[in-house]
Homo-oligomer: A and B are copies of this chain.
């Protein structure tokens, strides 16, 4: 890739600079991307995946990933659960919406249960395990938002889901870098 051919230029009538190919004029609009995922309850505990890929390879997280074109948010969460944890889930409702402005993500995390028994590591996971609440490896979680969502799940367990959680007071815009969080 010729990095030099792309420059940040302002299209006519726009109020943001856009990544523009100075060779062919292609404008690559960059907007926040949606991460869809789920806290999957199993016998009162939750499923976590140990990441086989960067960032944060070797750390534990929720099954979640980039939503693709042509699917709904709920479908994306189900697909990611299958891809990363080889688990078929039933989505109960929207647990949380976190804006992570630092990295241009909106994370939409659902509460879910097993639709079919069983799970296994998908290609992007080293292992997938059920953890009881008191077993969750908090210092080894990959991302602050996984911690936030797990706490929200714990608060709402056994209850109907109301309004989804949003960013916590500790990081109201999702701008704290990984190294600045209490992992």
A180 within 8 A of B: no
Name the segment of A112-120, A127-135, A139-147, A166-174 touching the other chain.
Answer: A166-174
Given the complex of chains A and B, what is the CA–CA distance between A167 and B94 in angstroms?
13
A interface size (C-beta, 8 A): 45
Contacting A23 at CB < 8 Å: which of B24, B30, B93? B24
> Contact string, A12-44, partner B, CB cutoff 8 A, digits 1/0?
000010000101111011111110000000000
State how many angstroms separate the Cβ of A20 from the closest Cβ of chain B: 10
State how many angstroms separate the Cβ of A145 from the closest Cβ of chain B: 13
A101 within 8 A of B: yes
Q: Which residue of B lies closest to A102 (CB)?
A: B70
A5 within 8 A of B: yes
Given the complex of chains A and B, what is the CA–CA distance between A5 and B16 in angstroms?
25
State how many angstroms separate the Cβ of A143 from the closest Cβ of chain B: 17
Tell me the residues in window 77-132 of chain A with beta carbons closer than 8 Å to chain B beta carbons: 93-94, 97, 99, 101, 104, 106, 108
Q: Which residue of B lies closest to A124 (CB)?
A: B13
Task: Kindly list chain B residues whose C-beta atoms are within 8 Å of the C-beta of A93.
Answer: 163
State how many angstroms separate the Cβ of A46 from the closest Cβ of chain B: 20
Given the complex of chains A and B, what is the CA–CA distance between A155 and B1 in angstroms?
52
A148 within 8 A of B: no
Contacting A16 at CB < 8 Å: which of B68, B74, B101, B164? B68
Cβ contacts A to B, 6 pairs, < 8 Å: A2-B23, A21-B21, A32-B67, A34-B34, A69-B104, A72-B99
Q: Which 10 A-B pairs have the closest CB atoms?
A: A72-B99, A1-B25, A2-B24, A69-B104, A162-B162, A31-B33, A28-B28, A1-B24, A1-B26, A73-B99
